[in-house]
């Protein structure tokens, strides 16, 4: 059986690494030379919107998925006429536009920060007057890892942000007074079987994920049920198949949804070595209609991203219990090059190991 993956980056690579032991073969559609996926499957070189490349890519594959949410929706729809595509193209349409995403959340009674649509400077000024400052101005499309957004703190920063981001569809969101950032990953199979991973606590710097902990320390059963119920609402609405990640702000009044990712997610990388079935394997199982595996970690699990630089294999693996995952990418500032996973029987033990891994990452990059 052959699985097609749109995108040849590290997420596609890790999906293939999880599926190869199941006897699966993989083909990737990727425009760049020497992508991370090159060592784990066949690569069809071509643009994501090139009809000829799409046809060559889909010929002979049994199912298609994708590793990033900016796949052209028309391409996904074209492919779905020939081969099953999961998650469904509708999920891409929602995730690619922050306004549509927020409106979908609201329609499903999933709380969000107050927001306003902005297309002109006059609409920006009116939104700032209505929402107040601080706020965040974001492009509606193509932003990730903190890109395509600016914090609005005063009149001067509003002018600077408009100068940088104006001229394209935008959205302004109120600043949220939150205790921490959480993510909830769930996976649903073609058969309808559903599994929910434990809530994850995430730590970001400059908009880029640095560390994750699972289960989120101090999380209550009530809060975990709240998150799962909200994500299940989205899964049902989208007729979803595969892994879906939703990022939340935890506030005194409950959870506010920040954004969704219709794919495997950086905050779920700990699951590779946490003791349960990883998000990557469960995603592959889901799109093939296979039984899903137990996602629960054994004890506590965590992850540290390697950003901008890579420690030696010896230093990384010499840290207590660390598992190293490298993506085969050339270092450059702000680039995710790999991650370190670790697990422990106690939260205290996890914190000690994460602190050690964080120091290693910081010495060699931007950890």
Q: Splitting the chain (367 residues) into consecutive groups of 10 residues, what average pLDDT does each group show?
A: 98 98 98 96 98 98 97 98 98 97 98 97 97 96 77 95 95 96 98 97 94 98 97 98 98 96 98 97 98 97 97 94 96 95 98 97 87
* Conformation bin of residue 318: beta by default, left when phi > 0, alpha when psi is -120 to 50: alpha
Helical H runs in 29-120?
A: 51-58, 73-80, 89-95, 98-107
State if pTM tops 0.75. Answer: yes
What SS3 state is found at 117?
Answer: strand
Q: What is the pLDDT of residue 206?
A: 86
Query: Can you tell me which residue has the tokens 């996890």?
Result: 350
Cα separation values, 12 from 30, 67, 154, 176, 273, Å:
10, 5, 41, 33, 18
Farthest CA pair distance, the chain: 59
Written as six digits, the tokens of 114 are 């107050």
Domain range enclosing 146: 114-174
Same-domain pairing of 169 and 207: no
**Does 61 reside within a domain?**
yes
Q: What is the pLDDT of residue 147?
A: 72
Same-domain pairing of 150 and 194: no
Distance CA 260, CA 87 (A): 13
CATH number at residue 78: 3.40.50.20
Same-domain pairing of 126 and 191: no
Same-domain pairing of 67 and 122: no
Distance CA 144, CA 142 (A): 7
Closest to 232 (Cα-Cα) out of 270, 187, 180, 284: 187
Same-domain pairing of 206 and 285: yes
Q: Which of 128, 157, 174 is the last residue of a domain?
A: 174
Asked whether 260 and 244 are in contact (CB, 8 A), the reply is yes
**Structural domain total, the chain:** 3
CATH number at residue 203: 3.30.470.20
Same-domain pairing of 55 and 119: no
Same-domain pairing of 184 and 168: no
Element (H, E) at 197: none
Q: Which of 174, 193, 221 is the last residue of a domain?
A: 174
Bridge partners of 208?
A: 205
Q: Which of 151, 174, 197 is the last residue of a domain?
A: 174
Parallel, antiparallel or unpaired: strands 180-188 and 194-196: antiparallel
Same-domain pairing of 226 and 260: yes
Asked whether 291 and 2 are in contact (CB, 8 A), the reply is no
Same-domain pairing of 257 and 289: yes
**Does 284 reside within a domain?**
yes
Q: What is the pLDDT of residue 80?
A: 98
Same-domain pairing of 269 and 350: yes
CATH number at residue 164: 3.30.1490.20
Element (H, E) at 64: strand 63-66
Query: Can you tell me which residue has the tokens 């799962």?
Result: 228
């Amino acid at each position: 059986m052959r699985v097609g993956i749109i995108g040849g980056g590290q997420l596609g690579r890790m999906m293939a690494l999880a599926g190869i032991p199941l006897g699966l073969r993989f083909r990737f559609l990727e425009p760049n030379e020497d992508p991370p996926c090159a060592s784990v499957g066949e690569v069809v070189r071509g643009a994501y919107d090139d009809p000829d490349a799409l046809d060559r890519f889909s010929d002979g594959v049994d199912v298609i998925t994708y590793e990033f949410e900016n796949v052209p929706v028309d391409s996904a729809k074209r492919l779905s006429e020939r081969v099953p595509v999961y998650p469904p193209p509708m999920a891409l349409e929602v995730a690619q536009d922050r306004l549509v995403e927020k409106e979908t959340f609201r329609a499903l009674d999933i709380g969000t920060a107050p927001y306003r649509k902005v297309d002109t400077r006059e609409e920006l000024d009116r939104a700032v007057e209505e929402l107040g400052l601080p706020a965040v101005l974001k492009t509606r499309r193509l932003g990730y890892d903190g890109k395509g957004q600016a914090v609005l703190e005063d009149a001067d920063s509003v002018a600077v942000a408009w100068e940088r981001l104006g001229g394209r569809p935008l959205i302004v969101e109120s600043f949220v007074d939150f205790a921490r950032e959480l993510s909830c990953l769930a996976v649903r199979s073609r058969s309808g079987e559903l599994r929910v991973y434990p809530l994850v606590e995430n730590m970001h710097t400059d908009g880029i994920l640095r560390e994750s902990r699972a289960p989120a320390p101090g999380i209550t059963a009530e809060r975990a049920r709240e998150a799962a119920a909200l994500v299940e609402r989205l899964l049902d609405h989208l007729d979803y198949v595969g892994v879906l990640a939703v990022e939340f702000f935890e506030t005194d009044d409950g959870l506010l949804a920040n954004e969704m990712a219709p794919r495997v997610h950086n905050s779920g990388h700990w699951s590779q070595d946490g003791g349960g079935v990883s998000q990557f394997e469960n995603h592959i199982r889901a799109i093939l209609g296979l039984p899903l595996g137990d996602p629960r970690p054994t004890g506590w699990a965590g992850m540290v991203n390697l950003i901008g630089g890579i420690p030696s294999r010896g230093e990384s693996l010499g840290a207590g219990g660390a598992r190293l995952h490298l993506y085969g990418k050339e270092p450059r500032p702000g680039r995710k090059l790999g991650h370190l996973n670790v697990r422990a029987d106690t939260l205290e033990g996890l914190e000690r190991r994460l602190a050690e891994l964080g120091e290693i990452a910081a010495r060699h990059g931007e950890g």
